[in-house]
Amino acid sequence: MWERGAQGERATGAILDGLRAEGWAVFHDVRWPDRVRANIDHVAIGPSGVFVIDSKNWAGRIDIREGTFTCRGRRHDRTIASAGDAALAVARHVSAPAAGLVHAVLCFVRDERIEGRCHEVLMCSTANLREMLVSRPAVLTPDQVRMAALELGVFLRAATASTPRPSPAPPRRQVASRPSVPSPQPRRQQPKKSMTGRFVGLGLIVLVALVGLSQLPLIVDLATQVVSDVLVGHQYGTCGELREDYPNGVGRAAAVDEMKRQRHRPAVDERVFIANSSLDRDDDGLICERPR
C-alpha cells in the first residue's frame, strides 16, 4: 500500500516538475508545518496561486456530490477536511497577497479526467492537473511568486528538520524492605539549540530584511507624497480636479478679500495656491474661481 502511494506521488511530482520552466516553484514530500507525524505531498507556487496538493493513487470510481466524494461507494469526508487543513497550514507561512490565494487540491492518479470541487478543495486527476493549474487566471506577479517560494522554503525546511527524541530511561530496580536515603536530584540541563534552529532563525532575519527592502521604494514614495501635501500643498492637474475639493476655487487672502461678492468666494489656502499657481491664467491671485 505504501509503495502504491509513493508511485502516485512520483507521477504527480513529475507533472509539477514540468512547470518549473514556466516560472513555478515546486516542493515535494515536506513535513506538515504544524504536525509532527504528517507530511504534505506537494506544494506548487505559480502565477495562478499557491496549490497544496494531496496525491491519491486509489483504484475505483470517484463520484463528487454534496460537498464530498465517494470512492467505491464510500464517503471520504475526512480526506476533504485534511486537504483543507493542509492548505490553511501553508497559508499561515506566506505573506499577502499569496496568503489569500492558497488552494487545496486532491489529485487522483489515473488517465481519466476528474473535475469538480468539494467545498474549497479542488478535485482533479493526473490527466488534467497541469491544465487546471495553468488555465486559471494569473493573480501573482513573478516577484510575488519568488517571495512566496522563499518564505515557504524557510518554513518547510524548518518543519522537515528532524528532532531527535530522548530515549526512555531504564526502569529502576526495586529493593524490597530496604531503607533508602533520598539522593539529591541532579540539575536538569537546558537543551542546547541545534544548528538547524540557529540557521532557521538567521533565515527568518534575512527574509524580514528582504521584505523590508522590497517595500522601501513604496514607503519612500508614500512619505514623499505626504510631506509634499503637508508642506507644499496638493497639486491638481486641472480645475475640474481642484473643484472636487474646492468647489469655488482657491485664492490668496488679499485677492479673496478684495472680492465684492459674498457668495461663491474661493477658499483661502496659500499652500494649495502656490502648488497650483500655473492655473492662475489671469494672474489675479485666484485659481479656478467661479465666473462672476
Q: Find out if CATH 3.40.1350 is the number for domain 2-140.
A: yes
> Which residue's entry shows cell 460537498?
67
pLDDT at 219: 58
Q: Give which of 140, 135, 106 is closest to 123, Cα–Cα.
A: 106
State the pTM of this model. 0.55
Cell of 253: 487672502
Inform me whether the pLDDT recorded for 262 exceeds 90. Answer: no
Tell me the pLDDT of the chain averaged across its residues: 80
DSSP percent split of the chain into helix, strand, coil, nearest 5: 40, 20, 40
**Confidence bin at 31 (pLDDT 50/70/90):** confident
Q: In the beta sheet, which residues pair with residue 127? A: none
DSSP 167: P
Distances (CA, A) of 197 to 59, 86, 211: 42, 23, 21
pLDDT computed for residue 166 by the predictor = 43
pLDDT tens sequence across 99-148: 999 999 999 999 999 999 998 999 999 999 999 999 999 999 999 999 99
- Spans of all domains in the chain: 2-140, 231-287
Beta-bridge partner residues of 118: 121
Residue 37 binned pLDDT confidence (cut-offs 50, 70, 90): confident
Name the phi and psi angles at 19, rounded to 5.
-85, -10
What pLDDT, on the 0 to 100 scale, is given for residue 110? 94
Taking the C-alpha atoms of residue 268 and residue 272, their distance in angstroms, rounded to an integer, is 9
Torsion (CA) 14, 17, 19, 22 in degrees, nearest 10: -150
The model's confidence at residue 48, banded by pLDDT at 50, 70 and 90, is very high
Nearest-CA neighbor of 104 among 90, 125, 92, 114?
A: 90
pLDDT for 227: 44
Give the pLDDT of residue 164.
41
pLDDT in tens, 67-79: 899 998 899 999 9
- Give kind and range of the element (H or E) at residue 42: strand 39-46
The whole-number pLDDT of residue 184 equals 56
Cβ atoms of 48 and 138 within 8 Å: the answer is yes
CB 248 within 8 A of CB 289: yes
Model pLDDT for residues 212-223, shown as the tens digit of each residue = 666 666 655 655
| pLDDT higher than 60, residue 283 | yes
Q: Which of 23-37, 49-63, 268-282 has the highest mean pLDDT?
A: 49-63
Dihedral sign (CA 85, 88, 90, 93): negative
Non-local CB neighbours of 29 within 8 Å, separated by 6+ positions: 9, 39, 40, 41, 42
Confidence of residue 42 (pLDDT cuts 50, 70, 90): very high
Which tens digits make up the pLDDT trace of 154-198?
877 655 554 444 445 555 555 555 555 555 555 555 555 556 556
pLDDT greater than 60 at residue 243: yes
